[in-house]
Structure 1
Amino acid sequence: MRIGRRRFMKAAAGGALAALALRGAGRAIANPKQTPIDRHLAWVWRFDDDGDPAEIRDRLVQQRAGILLKTHDGSTYMGKWDASWGGVTGPEKVRELAEFFESAGVPFHAWSVTRGVDPVREAEVAAEVLANGARSLTFDLEPAEGKAYWQRGPAEAMQIGWELRRLMPDAYLVVAPDPRPWQLEVVPIGEFASFCDEIAPQTYWDTFDSPANYRLFEMFGYPPGPDGITPEHVLTVTNQALAPHGRPIRPVGQGAASHEEWARFLQTAESLGMGEASFWRFRTAGDGVWQALSESVARKQEQSKQAALKTQPRDNPAPAGQGKGAGPKVDSPRAKTEDAQEEADGAAGAPANRPYRNLPRFRSQYRLDVAPSRNRSLLPGGRE
């Protein structure tokens, strides 16, 4: 569905006025600091289904992972469906949850299902979430299923992008599409990629493992191998299908899969140059997934350690003239003359400690071109 020029301009004007009244926990919306996602993230749909916020936080602390929480659907906050303590009812609740997780060292990120029905308001809600503590915002972009998921066209996608970037030009935005080629054709992935910083494809190999998907993969030029639809196959197809958009790829894995599949998934993603994977979702993730994530973190830490060791110099070079084989120290002719003069003064009864004895060498070393009387504080003991 496309919108006419008059309707588009009316919506844009209305969005500009509405932006002046954006809510933000009692303060004006400010541009958040753009923060790269440097940890594995656990997707959380609703606390009344995924679990108690404190228990989720403790597990994420243990795993050194972050949370990716659904804060809104379209332009409606999740409190409409989640009546638990953690249900997101508005900007103030976003701020409370962000502080709850961040205070324990768990990075707080947000996601939403994008619909496009009210693009301006959807952008405003996204801005409110980002302004109140979310390090990033991920748009779940999937083809329409009834009244759920994406309902409009490319024009509405660009409206969301223009308005959100106007409100939050430095926000870190991610789009999470279904990466199967035939699904990408029916959503405005190009428009979203144009204003998002990276792509987080939903690479659910078990979900895609069906006869219908086999046929479609073959029709689109990606026939599965003898092992069927595997993590390797889905990631390879995803990489090829999304590469033209020129954005970093950070895949979303299937939380209900086995440890062996997850280990292969993470290793393949790493070999393709993809970012830290996330998983859907917290409640469905088994021990095998957590183990694979821990192994991935440990492996990368060891790689970083080894890389750092390779960049360190093996030996500290000695200063010039003090290295191995350096000859004995030889005083300059001026120094010898001054030493002889001091001995002569001492023999004649003159004070042996001449205040300005070392000044010529001092001045030469520091290139002092002013009279000694103006540099008394630079002399030993500040003597005159």
Structure 2
Amino acid sequence: MRSYSRQPFILIALASLVAVVALQANGPSAAEAIDVDPLIWQLSIDYPETLPGDLELPISTIYIKTHDGGDWMSTYDSHPNAVSGPAAIQNLIDIYGAQGIEVAAWFVPKGTDYDTQLLRALQVIDSGVTALYADLEPFPGFCFLQCRELAENLWKPLREMRPNAHLGVIYDPRTWWWDQSATAEWLSVADSALPMCYWESYAGQVPWDDPAGCVVQAHADLSLLAPGRDLDYLPMLQGNSTANRFEEALDAAAGVGSERVSVWRRGVVNTEVWELIDDYSEPSYVHCRSTLADDCLFRKMSTGSVWLMRGGVRLYIASFGLLPPLGLTPDDVQLVEDAFIAAIPTELPDGLLITDVAGTDVYVVYGGTRFRMGEGDYAALGLDPEAVVTLPGGLLDQVPLSPPDFSLLRGVSSGDEYLVMSGALIPLDDGVFAALEALGIAGEWITVPDAALADIPAAEIRRGDTDCSGVVETFDVLQVLQLSAGLPNTAICHQSADVNCDGSSAALDALLILVFIAAGESPLLPGGCAPIGSLSLLE
């Protein structure tokens, strides 16, 4: 950490400053994790005696306000070095350059004197600044009701006349100001976006009143404001805030890929915030948006739900108590917009081997279901027993053991084939296939470990329940009649239609089921034949 003195900084002539620089060991560090560029509104105001000089602060670029409408800033700023024209800008570039600080410029477009403002912008760019930023605000004293006209008559002509200049837009990110500001029009020819994330000023306006929320949401909204354009993202952070809240905003900016941010403004940033900036290092999750690597943690903006990345999918974290065994803490959680979370799948990919921390059983995932592996199943399925992903405690239970209804399973070694209904196995035969065809269901086969088939129970079906609905009803009578006549039917559990145990489905079976429904109890059946409505295994 630098030792911050409280000496005032006074802009001096270049010749004197060079001598000072030769004696100074300090200066902006080239190793800052993220550059923070302060804005200067007025030189006479933004260098208070309570703050150190620029040489003692971690500054590599500074944004100087050059003009307001058609007026040079010397009209309002009494400082002797205030901008009064191109020569004054070049003087400031020399002064700051001697300290290793680059100079960008910003201005307020307003009014209808487009020609004068275009001339001012050209003069500023041609003076040698690194960039020119327009402060776009739909309020009195700014572009107000002329924002759209200024975009057409000032900003776009400027781009045509200086195609290689770096242009940026400072704008209010709150959605209800986009139209009046014509924000999209200004960004359409810009190189960088600088949304004003003034969380203290936006109190009570979610998510803008949250440092990270504002930075993340404004970044996400660029897909709407500047679709298809890869703009530099330099969010403008609120300087008059606490170090903790400022750090939250810095973390969010680093998390969305920003290498630098701006801050409004130099004169209100306190020493504690400057010390934070000087010591700042990027959060652990800085790589997560681009890589979706294992152990990345994301928090959904709208709900606060937390998700852990494993094997290319997100898994819900119900409690932070799951994090310590992974070597993770709540500080590793990155806030992201809802659309980002929604684009990450929650279903593990087919063929992925998973286990829990205990590692007692290993499962393979197919169709979003986990199937237990046996010793001989790895080779049969062509899977590597070393390529197992460990899920933290409790997360394995999020992957169901029971396949969804109408899944078609085949044992990898045995070749046994089953239909899954209500978490149980129904042996496949021609009758079941015919019923599936009548239902319009053509499922895909899943070849699974034989060990897993042993974990899924055989279906218990009520005698007479031909459609596997769980109850014996008049529809089953119709199914039996269709079976007996060889007509298309949906009797998936057609084996249960032979209620009198004579080896066939006939009209008599339908009559017996009808008697059962009317009487509420099974009629007498041949010896050894289970009552209608009773449960029996399908084999």
Q: Shorter chain as normaliser: what TM range?
A: 0.5 to 0.7
Write the mapping of 1:288-307 to structure 2, written as runs, cut at 5 A.
288-296=272-280, 299=282
Mapped contact 2:246–2:273 kept (Cα < 8 A): yes
Extract unaligned runs of 5+ from structure 1: 1-37, 215-222, 305-384
Instruction: State the distance in 1 between where 2:265 and 2:55 align.
Output: 13
Q: CA deviation at 1:163?
A: 2.5
Write the mapping of 1:1-384 to structure 2, written as runs, cut at 5 A.
39-51=35-47, 58-60=53-55, 62-145=57-140, 147-210=141-204, 214=205, 223-224=206-207, 229-244=209-224, 245=226, 246=229, 247-296=231-280, 299=282
Corresponding residue number in structure 2 for 1:310 = none
Report 1 or 2 for greater relative contact order, CA contacts < 8 Å, sequence distance ≥ 6: 1
Mapped contact 1:144–1:150 kept (Cα < 8 A): yes
Instruction: State the distance in 2 between where 1:151 and 1:130 align.
Output: 26
Secondary structure at 2:107 match in 1: strand
Which structure shows the bigger proportion of residues in strand conformation? Answer: 2
Instruction: State the distance in 2 between where 1:293 and 1:144 align.
Output: 31
Post-superposition CA distance 1:249-300 (Å, at most 9, x none) = 210111011111111111111111234111111111012221222133x559
Which structure shows the bigger proportion of residues in helix conformation? Answer: 1
Corresponding residue number in structure 2 for 1:14 = none
Secondary structure at 2:67 match in 1: strand
Instruction: State the distance in 2 between where 1:70 and 1:64 align.
Output: 17
Mapped contact 1:248–1:275 kept (Cα < 8 A): no
Secondary structure at 2:272 match in 1: helix
Q: CA deviation at 1:121?
A: 2.0
Mapped contact 2:212–2:248 kept (Cα < 8 A): yes
Q: Are the structure 2 counterparts of residues 52 and 264 from structure 1 closer, same or farther at C-alpha, using a change threshold of 3 Å?
A: closer
Q: CA deviation at 1:123?
A: 1.8
Mapped contact 1:60–1:67 kept (Cα < 8 A): no
Corresponding residue number in structure 2 for 1:344 = none
Instruction: State the distance in 2 between where 1:263 and 1:66 align.
Output: 20
Post-superposition CA distance 1:212-259 (Å, at most 9, x none) = xx3xxxxxxxx55xxx93112212321232232132321011101111
Post-superposition CA distance 1:333-370 (Å, at most 9, x none) = xxxxxxxxxxxxxxxxxxxxxxxxxxxxxxxxxxxxxx
Q: Are the structure 2 counterparts of residues 129 and 52 from structure 1 closer, same or farther at C-alpha, using a change threshold of 3 Å?
A: farther
Secondary structure at 2:268 match in 1: coil
Mapped contact 2:66–2:106 kept (Cα < 8 A): yes
Instruction: State the distance in 2 between where 1:299 and 1:205 align.
Output: 21
Instruction: State the distance in 2 between where 1:88 and 1:265 align.
Output: 31
Give TM-score, length-normalised by structure 2. Answer: 0.43
Give TM-score, length-normalised by structure 1. Answer: 0.60
Letter in 2 for 1:230: D
Letter in 1 for 2:182: P
Mapped contact 1:45–1:70 kept (Cα < 8 A): yes
Letter in 2 for 1:199: A
Mapped contact 1:61–1:105 kept (Cα < 8 A): no
Letter in 2 for 1:293: I
Q: CA deviation at 1:94?
A: 0.8
Mapped contact 2:109–2:150 kept (Cα < 8 A): no
Mapped contact 2:63–2:104 kept (Cα < 8 A): yes
Instruction: State the distance in 1 between where 2:126 and 2:214 align.
Output: 35
Q: Are the structure 2 counterparts of residues 64 and 80 from structure 1 closer, same or farther at C-alpha, using a change threshold of 3 Å?
A: closer
CA RMSD of superposed structures (Å): 2.5
Q: Are the structure 2 counterparts of residues 94 and 291 from structure 1 closer, same or farther at C-alpha, using a change threshold of 3 Å?
A: same
Q: Are the structure 2 counterparts of residues 263 and 52 from structure 1 closer, same or farther at C-alpha, using a change threshold of 3 Å?
A: closer
Instruction: State the distance in 1 between where 2:36 and 2:267 align.
Output: 16
Instruction: State the distance in 1 between where 2:127 and 2:56 align.
Output: 22
Post-superposition CA distance 1:24-49 (Å, at most 9, x none) = xxxxxxxxxxxxxx832111100111
Corresponding residue number in structure 1 for 2:22 = none
Letter in 2 for 1:43: L
Letter in 2 for 1:186: Q
Instruction: State the distance in 1 between where 2:145 and 2:108 align.
Output: 11
Q: CA deviation at 1:153?
A: 4.3
Aligned residues: 247
Mapped contact 2:193–2:233 kept (Cα < 8 A): yes
Mapped contact 1:117–1:151 kept (Cα < 8 A): no
Q: Are the structure 2 counterparts of residues 125 and 181 from structure 1 closer, same or farther at C-alpha, using a change threshold of 3 Å?
A: same
Structure number, greater radius of gyration: 2
Q: CA deviation at 1:64?
A: 3.6
Q: Are the structure 2 counterparts of residues 52 and 125 from structure 1 closer, same or farther at C-alpha, using a change threshold of 3 Å?
A: farther
Instruction: State the distance in 1 between where 2:120 and 2:243 align.
Output: 37
Instruction: State the distance in 1 between where 2:144 and 2:40 align.
Output: 20
Mapped contact 2:60–2:100 kept (Cα < 8 A): no
Instruction: State the distance in 1 between where 2:216 and 2:136 align.
Output: 20
Q: CA deviation at 1:61?
A: 5.7
Instruction: State the distance in 1 between where 2:273 and 2:247 align.
Output: 8
Secondary structure at 2:197 match in 1: coil
Secondary structure at 2:216 match in 1: helix
Instruction: State the distance in 1 between where 2:93 and 2:214 align.
Output: 33
Give the ranges of 4+ consecutive aligned residues of structure 1 lying more than 4 Å apart after TM superposition.
none
Q: Are the structure 2 counterparts of residues 199 and 60 from structure 1 closer, same or farther at C-alpha, using a change threshold of 3 Å?
A: farther
Extract unaligned runs of 5+ from structure 2: 1-33, 288-539
